[in-house]
Amino acid sequence: MLGIKAIASYVPERRERNIDLAGRFELDELFLRDKIGVLERAVKAPEQDTSDLAYLALDRLMTEHRLKASAIELLVVVTQNPDRNIPHVSAQVHGRAGLSESCAAFDISLGCSGYVYGLAVVKSFMQAQGLSCAVLITADPYSKIIDPTDRNTVLLFGDAATATLVACEPVWTLDTFSFGSKGKDWSAIRTDAGKFVMDGRGVFNFAATTVPNDIKIMLGKADLSPDQIDRYILHQGSRFIVQTIANRLRQPLAKCPTEIERYGNTVSSTIPLIAEVALCDVSLRNIVLSGFGVGLSWASCLCVRTEGS
Partner 1 sequence: MMPNDQRITEALNEAGIDFDVEGFDSSKSFKENGIDSLDVMSLFLMLEEKFKTKFSESEASGIRTPMDLTAALDKKLE
Cβ-contact 210, 182 below 8 angstroms: yes
Q: Give min distance, CB of 205 to partner 1, in A.
A: 5
Contact criterion met (CB below 8 Å) for 133 and 167? yes
Query: Which is nearer to partner 1, 68 or 201 (by Cβ)?
Result: 201
Q: Name the residue nearer to partner 1 (CB basis): 91 or 208.
A: 208
Nearer to partner 1, 182 or 221 (CB): 182
End-to-end Cα, the chain, rounded Å? 13
- Count of other CB atoms within 10 angstroms of residue 261: 16
- Closest approach, Cβ 26 to partner 1, in A, equals 9
- Is the CB of 44 or the CB of 239 nearer to partner 1? 239
Is residue 209 a contact residue for partner 1 (CB under 8 A)? yes
Question: Exposed, middle or buried: residue 153 (CB in 10 Å: 0-12, 13-18, 19+)?
Answer: buried
Looking at the chain, the number of H-run helices and the number of E-run strands are: 8, 13
Taking CB under 8 A as the criterion, the residue among 48, 173, 213, 247 binding partner 1 is: 247
Among 87, 216, 240, 257, binds partner 1 (CB under 8 A): 240
**DSSP-based three-state secondary structure for 81:** coil
Q: Which of 91, 120, 145, 208 binds partner 1 (CB under 8 A)?
A: 208
Task: Give the residue, chosen from 14, 15, 33, 35, that forms a contact with partner 1 under the rule CB under 8 A.
Answer: 35
Per CB under 8 A, 187 contacts partner 1: no
Q: With binding defined as CB under 8 A, does residue 200 bind partner 1? A: yes
**CB of residue 201 to partner 1, shortest distance in Å:** 5
- What is the rounded distance in angstroms from the CA atom of residue 283 to the CA atom of residue 5? 17
Opening angle at CA 192, ends 46 and 265, nearest 5: 55
Give the C-alpha separation, 175 to 42, whole Å. Answer: 32
- Cβ atoms of 176 and 116 within 8 Å: the answer is no
Identity of the residue, 236 or 238, whose beta carbon is nearer to partner 1 in the bound complex: 238
Burial 189-198 (b: 16+ CB within 10 A, else e): beeeeeebbb
Write down the least CB distance from residue 226 to partner 1, Å. Answer: 18
Binding mask 15-34 for partner 1 (x = CB under 8 A): ----------------x---
Contact present, 192 and 251 (Cβ < 8 Å): no
Pick from 244, 268, 270, 300 the residue near partner 1 by CB under 8 A: 244
Residues making contact with partner 1 (CB under 8 A)? 31, 35, 199-202, 204-205, 208-209, 238, 240, 244, 247
